């Protein structure tokens, strides 16, 4: 005996509406088959990537991103200090491990720095716990 459990159409009659988000609805509306294969669109890797993209786009539009808030604060402090020779030491796994984070934050800070201030960034090693 072979049983084919096809879940892709689950939710097509609205029975999965309670778990769909605004982003799931956008993905569904923009798909080749709006209103069909609802459950499949909730779990398929192809659709999850688009959901993540939509969420990140929304966060950037709302100016909620970590990078957006921090680079402005760093630039403000550096401009206020106004010393020609300063170094910014940053710690944390995002700064240390993300392949582009250091570049992104230093470029954004440069955009807001007063002319004449050149501030390098470095990773701050945490002191050993005693």
In the structure, what pLDDT confidence band is assigned to residue 27 with cuts at 50, 70 and 90? very high
* C-alpha–C-alpha distance, residues 90 and 41, integer Å: 40
Q: Which helix (H) or strand (E) holds 26?
A: helix 22-30
Highest mean pLDDT among 6-10, 22-26, 90-94, 109-113: 22-26
Give the phi and the psi of residue 88 in degrees, each rounded to 5: -105, 120
Give per-residue pLDDT as tens, 43-92: 777 788 888 888 888 877 776 555 556 777 888 888 888 887 888 887 77
């Amino acid at each position: 005996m072979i049983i084919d459990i096809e879940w892709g159409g689950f939710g097509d009659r609205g029975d999965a509406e309670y778990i769909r988000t605004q982003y799931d609805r956008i993905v569904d509306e923009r798909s080749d088959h709006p209103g069909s294969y609802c459950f499949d669109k909730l779990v398929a890797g192809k659709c999850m990537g688009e959901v993540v993209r939509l969420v990140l786009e929304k966060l950037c539009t709302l100016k909620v991103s970590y990078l957006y808030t921090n680079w402005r604060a760093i630039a403000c402090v550096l401009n206020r200090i106004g010393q020609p020779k300063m170094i910014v030491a940053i710690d944390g796994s995002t700064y240390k491990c993300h392949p582009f984070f250091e570049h992104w934050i230093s470029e954004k800070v440069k955009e807001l720095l007063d002319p004449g201030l050149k501030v390098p960034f470095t990773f701050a090693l945490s002191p050993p716990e005693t």
